[in-house]
Structures are given as C-alpha cells and as structure tokens.
Amino acid sequence: MRHAALVVNPVSGQRRGEAIGEVATRRLRDASWTIDRVTGDDVPAVRSSLRTLLEAGADTVVVIGGDGALHGILDLVVEFDATLGLVPAGTGNDLARGLDLPYRDPEACLDLLLASPPRRIDLARVDDGQHRRLVATVVASGFDSKVNERANAMTWPRGNLRYTIAILAELRAFAPVPFCLELVDAAGQTRRVDTEAMLVAVGNGPSFGGGLRIAHGAVLDDGLLDVCLIRPVSRSLLVRTFPKLRRGTHVSLREFERLMVRSVRVDAPDIVGYGDGERLGPLPVTIEVVPRALAVLAPARVG
C-alpha cells in the first residue's frame, strides 16, 4: 500500500480545502494507505515538512488545493520521483482539467485516484538565468500577465470582480508588445521570431486561468510545448476573444498562431511571466519541456 504525504491548503477553493482534506484522509486510510498530513498555506513551511516526509520514505504526494498549491512543491515531487495524486480544491484547477479529472467533485476524484495506475506526463522547466522552476500547465506573458500584475496590486475588491476590474483598466492602456522568441523545434532546428503580440503563452497543458484554453489541443505527454501567440488585435476584438478561450474556438482567428517546440526563449520589455497562475518574474525566460517528468494517478489518455 502507498505511504502518502497529504498536502492540504486549507484556504483553497474559498476555504474548502480543510473539509476536503478530512474526506481524503478518511477515504485513503480506509483504502489502507499510510497518511501523514501537511496542512498550511505558508510555502516554505509546507516544503520543509514535505521534504522531511519524502526523505522518510513517503512515495506519494496527494495535493488538496489548486494549481498554485501544487506549483509550490512540484520540484520536490519530481526530485524524489514521488507519485502525485491531485484532489482539486482551488479556483483554477487547470492541471486537473488537463488530466480529465472531475475537478468539481472531490469524491469522484478520489475514486479515480484510488482506481488509476500512475501515468507519466511532461512538465515545463522555466529558467530565468538565476532560478529554475517547474510548471505543469501554462507559462503566460503579455496582456494576461499585465492583468495579473494589476490585480495583485489591488487591495479591493476581492475575488473574480478584482480581475474583471483589472481587465477593464488594462484594456485602456494596453498596447501590443514586441516579443522576441528563440525556438527549438522537435527536430532540433532553431528559429527566431520577432513579432508584436497581445500575449504569448507556452502550454504544457491546454488551459490556464481556470479553464481558458489558450493552448487548446495541447497534450500533457507528447514531449513538446505549444507556443501560442495572439497577434495585435483591436481592443474590441480582444474583449470578444476572451470568451472564445473558454471553448478553444479562438484558434480559428487569423491572429492566432501555434508553434510546437522543445524549448523557447521568450523576451519582451517590461513584461512579467506567470506559470501555473503564480508570478515567475520578469522576462526573459527560457522554457523547455521535461518529458515524462511526473508520475500522476489519473485516467490514461484516450487517443
């Protein structure tokens, strides 16, 4: 049976994390798993406790939380080659969406976690020249990261309304950004692209921001990253494009372009990158795929 470190973010999902953690603890112990809990939202403290458990022999890490909770410990899971179990309890849950987990139903998610053998998926490694970090979903820069920067600086209001106000405020001032992309494709061929764009997103998985399918069609285990650009559009078209991201229908826009790569260096002036919804820091960054880096308890991909 598995020995799992159960990492619970109690404030995830409007503070539902603790309640979901209690359910998960009961269900996993009933399945004869050994469970040690790590509870909290202080990342350094959680990392310290988790490292201790992994060094003591825990072979599985079950995260009760969102993409941000996983992002803070993802490198530790990979370092110890532990198997990940994910019970989404956040607001975004984009990795869970990419894995076809029932992200709105913790009990159903636990059923799948207990029934699924491990499968391996890729990750993206982000290098800014000083730090290396792993990202499971999407690294984004441009309009979306400007909105995040503005929203994070606001003290009022809370919740999704803050991001709506930030979008409206950013639209008034936002102009296309000059990006420089240095790409290495699947065959190892290099290419440089200098272009203006509203945003550039590098997808390991298909979505970010709670189901915005910017990299619609991206596959988590294909050994490649999807570099997605939206070239300059009018403010009105940009507003109309955002609902399309929910359905992935933006890929039919003539301003949309997808480039499949093994790695890409992304640079643009005065732009900050975000990965898994968390602030990474100013560009430039180099993003490369790490094939089959993570074992996860999730249904096998169909097709």
Asked if residue 98 has pLDDT above 60, the reply is yes
CATH of the domain at 184: 2.60.200.40
Q: Please state, rounded to an integer, the average pLDDT across all residues of the chain.
A: 92
Q: How many domains does the structure of the chain reveal? A: 2
Asked if residue 91 has pLDDT above 80, the reply is no
Angle at 213 between CA 207 and CA 214, to 5 degrees: 90
Residue 298 in any domain: the answer is no
Higher pLDDT, 167 or 94: 94
**C-alpha torsion angle, residues 90, 95, 98, 103 (rounded to 10):** -30
Structure tokens that stand for 239 in this block = 């507003």
What's the mean pLDDT in 248-274?
A: 95
CA distance 70 to 264: 24
Domain identity same for 110 and 146 = no
Asked if residue 222 has pLDDT above 70, the reply is yes
Domain identity same for 223 and 250 = yes
Sign of the Cα torsion 67, 279, 250, 224 reads: negative
Q: Give pTM, 2 decimals.
A: 0.93
Q: What is the pLDDT of residues 176-201, one digit of tens each?
A: 999 999 999 999 999 999 999 999 99
What's the mean pLDDT in 67-84?
A: 96
pLDDT at 160: 61
Domain identity same for 164 and 275 = yes
97 exposure class (CB count in 10 Å sphere: 0-12, 13-18, 19+): buried
Residue 243 structural domain: 132-292
Domain identity same for 180 and 89 = no
Asked if residue 61 has pLDDT above 70, the reply is yes
Helices (H), the chain: 12-15, 17-30, 43-55, 67-71, 74-79, 94-98, 106-115, 143-153, 160-173, 235-247
Asked if residue 164 has pLDDT above 80, the reply is no
